[in-house]
Amino acid sequence: MDRAKRVLKQAKDVEELKPYLTDVPEDINSAVEDGKKVLVESSQGFGLSLYYGTYPYVTSKDTTASMALVDVGIGPRRVKDVIVVFKTFPTRVGEGPFPTAMSEEEAERLGIVEYGTVTGRRRRVGHFDFKLARYAAMINSASQIALTCVDYFGEENKGVRSLDELTREAREFVETVEKKVNVPVTLISTGPDLEDTIDIREEKV
């Protein structure tokens, strides 16, 4: 009897979910063919990739742009741009290699104290890893870079929405990232709000 109830409940659950189910590859490819813009976001971070990350401190799958396409059923020729997202000061929860890690005291002086959203554990903080950034850009065939947490370069950068308003230190960092990674920085986040963004592509139009 219990089994029969479970089967009936599962059938009811499936029926309720039907309005939210779709053929994802069919819908997305149709949208592309219709000239619509499609944004695909990869899960986790590149350093946690099962194939290219710091094994065994990784997640259960590949986290590259290529796998994101596989996940939703898009072929590589459909892609126009690949945007890699780098934090100005990378963070990591738990164990694993972190060659640019700084002490908790230094992170606190910089005002960078973060906690994992799931575990609640304090994140380790490091300086920007140019070697890892170049590798990530290569594997993902990056065409653009989005830099987040640029406001950590000083209070003057918080909420700034124009490249000219950034401090000299912050602008020089952006230029160094572009030069060493060899990929243009097109988006800069300067705060927690969506509007706290500098879109260099718009400034150059």
Q: How far is CA 28 from CA 19, 36, 68, 111, 186, in A?
A: 17, 9, 13, 41, 25
Q: What tens-digit pLDDT sequence spans the chain (205 residues)?
A: 577 667 667 767 778 878 888 999 999 999 999 999 999 998 889 999 999 999 999 999 999 999 999 999 999 999 999 999 999 999 998 889 999 999 999 999 988 999 988 888 999 999 999 999 999 999 999 999 999 999 999 899 999 999 999 999 999 999 999 999 999 999 999 999 999 999 998 776 5
pLDDT at 7: 60
pLDDT at 25: 96
> What angle (nearest 5°) sits at the alpha carbon of residue 113, between those of residues 150 and 149?
10
203/196 Cα distance (integer angstroms):
15
Beta pairing class for 83-87 and 144-148:
parallel
69/79 Cα distance (integer angstroms):
9
**What three-state secondary structure class fits 84?**
strand
Q: Name the fold adopted by 40-203.
A: Adenylosuccinate Synthetase; Chain A, domain 3 (3.90.170)
Please give the model's pTM, rounded to 2 decimal places: 0.88
pLDDT at 105: 95
54/73 Cα distance (integer angstroms):
27
CB distance 99 to 139 below 8 Å: no
pLDDT at 4: 65
pLDDT at 139: 97
CB count, 10 Å around CB of 166? 22
Domain definitions of the chain by residue range = 40-203
